[in-house]
Amino acid sequence: MEEIIQEALTKGVEMHVAGEFEFASQLNSSVLKLQPNHAEANHNMGLLKVDAGHDLEALPYLQTALEADTSISQFWLSYIDALIRLGEFDGARQVLDQGRGSGLK
């Protein structure tokens, strides 16, 4: 099962890079149906939403990814970036402070 999930995530990233957002979204959604708190799938879905101009819709995915694994710096940075894009500067500052407290450099 993990191998299938990893293949779907890898193909989803390839499709995202190729601009095939709908197909990439479907692949990530399939993983999230199996594992709703999957850190990488949530992060990837959040990035897809940001790239599609849906920053507000990205937040729950990025937050779930971060809650699932606080050790990955990119999860912190993606969440902070989405908050900044939405003009939520105080929220971004708070998340940055939390990240620093968790070892984010």
Mean pLDDT of 66-92: 96
The predicted structure's pLDDT at residue 54: 95
Q: Find tokens 């402070």 and name the residue.
A: 97
Is the pLDDT at 45 greater than 90? The verdict is: yes
pLDDT band at 105 (very low <50, low <70, confident <90, very high): confident
Report which of 18, 84, 73, 26 is spatially closest to residue 50, judged by C-alpha positions.
84
pLDDT tens, position by position, 10-44: 999 999 999 999 999 999 999 999 999 999 999 99
pTM score of the predicted model: 0.94
Is the pLDDT at 104 greater than 90? The verdict is: no
Rounded distance between C-alpha atoms, residue 94 and residue 52, angstroms = 26
pLDDT tens, position by position, 1-14: 889 999 999 999 99
